Amino acid sequence: MENKVSKKVLVASLVGSSIEWFDYFLYGTVAALVFNELFFHSKDPTVGLMLAYASFALAFFIRPLGGIIFSHIGDRIGRKKTLVLTLSFMGGGTVLMGFLPTYESIGVMAPILLIILRLIQGLGLGGEWGGALLLAVEYAPKDKRGLFGSIPQMGVTIGMLLGTLSLSLMTLMPESAFMTWGWRVPFILSALLIIFGLWIRKGIDETPSFKKAQEKGEIAKVPFFETMRSHWKEVLIAVGAKVVETAPFYIFSTFIVSYATTNLGYSRTITLNAVTIATIITTILIPIMGNLSDKIGRKKLYVGGTVLMILYAFPYFWMLQQESAVLLILATVLGLGIIWAPITAVLGTMFSEIFKSNVRYTGITLGYQIGAALAGGTAPLVATALLKQYNNSYVPVALYIMLASAISLIAVSYVRDRKNQELDSEAA
């Protein structure tokens, strides 16, 4: 029976996390291909594209707010109820985008409605990760917590693959059909994933950690204030630890696409294929690394991955400079597929182990969302600006990866490894 519950919990956390990132990557790609023409109508195509990208960036700013709202509910009322809410917000916003009339049909109301739906989606996105992670970690046996905590982390790469695959299929259509209705199909079909996610989440009980906190009367009145009062150091550690997980990810998966095609003359197809192959490899490695952390410890694995990231920064760019398709794929697979995997696999579990249960949702969400906003959303912009400033020299970008890694090494030096300890046995 326990095994059956564990499987259901892992499926519930993985499905929600995958939908979260599917929505996220889908919007980003469609913003550049479709929304710039059909919603952000402008005589200047560049203005239309910039407006579309601005609507994409909105989610980065709204996510921390969504994180604060939903983590408050998660620490006050329960993880399960919150996860049903976040999935409904996130999924509802995405599905409705597929039915929106365009600028040609309703004028300026089209971009306004799209932005409202993007804000709703962003609010849900902000609270989803923390809940999906805690669902897995707080149900996990103490000797499998690393494995359980790595499962929702697979959602990033699965969502990315689903988003890329669904749009690749749609772009095989004639251009006119794709622009008229083809782009809408992935948005509308995501309803099936959401219904499945809600159904499986409805059938799960509240997590053992939250029940214990309820029984002991330890529920925080205002979790945000309690976190800032008693766990501000842990929030700073989590923000710092997130930097090496998020900045290199966007350089290896997003920045590389423009850099390899524009600066180094690689074809768009070979570059996207390199990212896809690396994404598949990292998806397979994440649970293996999570399982390994239960044997050797979260901190050792994280520090090992971060040190490798520092050592790899220059060889990565050197390989790209050789203008060999094989080396482009190898460079991306080593960086995104192998070195990044242990860092992301243990990150969520390590965050969970440094916060007490009554502020855990709020603490991990603040650390994750602030870290992502500071280092993730800005990484491709910083890397592009450095290239421009230093005459297309990759040296400053490699140093930027090393700096991100160094910040995280300092942050994680304050973490005590808690493998094989009970999650709620003591004040974290």
DSSP class of residue 326 equals: H
The span from the CA of 64 to the CA of 369, in Å, is: 5
The span from the CA of 407 to the CA of 160, in Å, is: 27
DSSP class of residue 140 equals: S
- Which option is the CATH number for 221-428: 2.30.140.10, 2.10.109.10, 3.10.20.30, 1.20.1250.20? 1.20.1250.20
Give the number of other Cβ atoms within 10 Å of residue 23's Cβ: 30
How many Cα atoms within 13 Å fall on the side-chain side of residue 63? Answer: 26
- Residues written for the chain: 428
User: Which two tokens mark 8?
Assistant: 């259901």
The span from the CA of 143 to the CA of 420, in Å, is: 5
Rg (C-alpha) for the chain, rounded Å, is 21
Q: What sign for the dihedral angle of Cα 223, 137, 341, 4?
A: negative
Taking only the tens of pLDDT, the chain with its 428 residues reads 467 778 888 998 998 889 888 887 788 778 767 877 888 776 666 666 667 767 767 777 788 889 999 999 999 988 888 988 999 998 899 999 999 998 888 888 888 898 889 889 888 888 989 999 999 999 988 889 999 999 999 998 899 888 878 877 887 888 888 888 988 999 998 899 889 888 988 888 888 888 888 888 888 888 889 999 988 999 999 999 999 999 999 889 888 887 888 888 888 888 888 988 999 999 999 999 999 999 999 999 999 999 999 999 999 999 999 989 999 999 999 999 999 999 999 999 999 999 988 899 999 999 998 898 888 767 777 888 888 888 888 899 999 999 999 999 999 999 888 776 777 765 44
- CATH topology of 1-202 equal to that of 221-428? yes
Task: Return the exposure string of 402-418: e unless at least 16 CB atoms fall within 10 Å of the residue's CB, then b.
Answer: bbbbebbbebbeebebb
Can you tell me whether residue 377 is helix, strand or coil? Answer: coil
Q: Where are the domains of the chain?
A: 1-202, 221-428
Output the CATH code of domain 1-202: 1.20.1250.20
User: Which two tokens mark 16?
Assistant: 């929600």
Whole-model pTM: value is 0.88
